[in-house]
């Protein structure tokens, strides 16, 4: 990526101009950088951010200039089939949730510049639809609030909305990156009695314990699944795959007890096929996908802010480094190498 001067349109009807304060380097961005998922280029990437409203267009009612906001790629229309049934992450209104390459908000060298996921937060300003932002308390630090726009929201939503985790149950979390670590306190808040963290990195497993995991397991152990089934007396009630790999997706299903539920949170690369044993379905094991934790971000993010203000979330510990925009490629190189949770780009 390179730093360029670009042009941004003025807010039109239902649009909001946000001065970006902080943007997280999410593994989802890396998937697009590496070509595992397609997106039209040139583009301004970035989607996990917080900032301050600078201007609003006609008919905007949710925010006003000066408001502190978190952005979310789950922009919604509020009146399509999916929105009115409470599934706003699947909004089908392409006039609001515009497909890649459609938004005409950015220009570079006089030509069209693609907006990424209707946000493009690796820029000093974001021009977005009103339904892509949520107002938050000004007391909430923006460098931590940015985490709520994707990783934390996804982990929390996967537990609360997608899996609807019941108290007193056992949980396995495969992958202890930013999303996996966010799933752990969510499971604890939902009342899980045992939380097993699974990763190949001992440092991440140690961090998972500080986030509330009761047990840890080396993902490289060839007997991992059988050991988890034995230690839980027949398998876990819920598993959450937070990496996006074929092997861990299959393992997340194999470690379930009868009637157990596996929720696939990670982004599995396009073209990857998952193999499961047919007999396991006779034991009523279930597997499902989730997009952004099936979130209701206008409600979830203010609630997560309250959890943080009460000391019930560990957002500070999720931040590995705070970087300048000029260091963004170094930040992604560190993400590729592993060993970091979230690097944050802080704008002046």
Q: Which of 47, 129, 161, 296 is catalytic?
A: 47
Q: Tell me which DSSP letter residue 189 carries.
A: H
How does DSSP classify residue 334?
A: H
26 is catalytic: yes
Active site residue 47: yes
Q: Is 31 a catalytic residue?
A: yes
| % of the chain with per-residue pLDDT over 70 | 100
Q: Compute the distance between CA of residue 151 and CA of residue 313 in angstroms, rounded to an integer.
A: 13
Instruction: Find how far residue 234's CA is from the centre of its chain.
Output: 30
Region 178-194: what's the mean pLDDT?
Answer: 96
Active-site residue (options: 23, 26, 68, 83): 26
The single residue of 28, 74, 162, 294 carrying the catalytic annotation is: 28
Domains of the chain: 7-149+315-346 (3.90.180.10), 155-291 (3.40.50.720)
Single out the catalytic residue among 21, 23, 27, 31. 31
CA 46/CA 127 separation, integer angstroms:
13
**CA–CA separation, 92 and 88 (whole Å):** 9
Average pLDDT over residues 71-95: 97
Spatial contact of 341 and 182, defined as CB atoms under 8 Å apart: no
40-82 pLDDT tens trace: 999 999 999 999 999 999 999 999 999 999 999 999 999 999 9
Would you tell me how many other CB atoms lie within 10 Å of the CB of residue 173? 33
DSSP 8-class letter at 25: -
Question: What residue spans of 9-106 are helical by DSSP H?
Answer: 27-33, 81-84
pLDDT beyond 80 at 339: no
pLDDT (tens digit, 9 = 90+) per residue, 259-268? 999 999 999 9
Active-site residue (options: 150, 242, 254, 262): 150
Residue 162 or 338, more confident? 162
117-154 tens-digit pLDDT: 999 999 999 999 999 999 999 999 999 999 999 999 99
């Amino acid at each position: 990526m390179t730093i360029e001067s670009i042009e941004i349109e003025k807010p039109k009807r239902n649009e909001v101009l946000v001065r970006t304060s902080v943007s997280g380097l999410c593994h989802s961005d890396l998937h697009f950088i590496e070509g595992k998922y397609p997106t039209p280029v040139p583009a301004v990437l970035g989607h996990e951010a917080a900032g301050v409203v600078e201007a609003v267009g006609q008919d905007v009612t949710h925010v006003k200039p000066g408001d502190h906001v978190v952005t979310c790629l789950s922009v919604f229309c509020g009146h399509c089939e999916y929105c009115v049934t409470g599934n706003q992450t699947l909004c089908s209104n392409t006039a609001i949730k515009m497909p890649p390459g459609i938004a005409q908000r950015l220009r570079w060298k006089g030509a069209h510049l693609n907006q990424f996921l209707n946000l493009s937060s690796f820029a000093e300003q974001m021009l977005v639809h009103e339904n892509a932002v949520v107002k938050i308390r000004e007391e909430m630090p923006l460098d931590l609030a940015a985490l709520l726009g994707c990783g934390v929201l996804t982990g929390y939503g996967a537990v609360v909305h997608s899996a609807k985790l019941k108290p007193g149950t056992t949980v396995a979390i495969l992958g202890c990156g930013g999303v996996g670590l966010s799933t752990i306190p969510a499971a604890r808040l939902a009342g899980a009695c045992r939380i097993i963290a699974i990763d190949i990195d001992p440092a991440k497993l140690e961090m998972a314990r500080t986030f509330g995991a009761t047990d840890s397991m080396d993902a490289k152990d060839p007997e991992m699944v059988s050991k988890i089934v034995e230690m839980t007396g027949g398998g876990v009630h819920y598993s959450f795959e937070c990496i996006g790999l074929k092997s861990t997706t299959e393992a997340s299903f194999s470690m379930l007890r009868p009637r157990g539920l596996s929720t696939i949170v990670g982004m599995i690369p396009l073209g990857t096929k998952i193999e499961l044993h047919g007999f396991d379905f006779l034991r009523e094991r279930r597997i499902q996908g989730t997009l952004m934790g099936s979130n209701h971000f206008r409600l979830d993010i203010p609630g997560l802010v309250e959890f943080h203000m009460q000391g019930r979330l560990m957002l500070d510990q999720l931040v590995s480094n705070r970087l300048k925009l000029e260091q963004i490629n170094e930040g992604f190189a560190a993400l590729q190498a592993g060993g970091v949770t979230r690097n944050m780009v802080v704008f002046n």
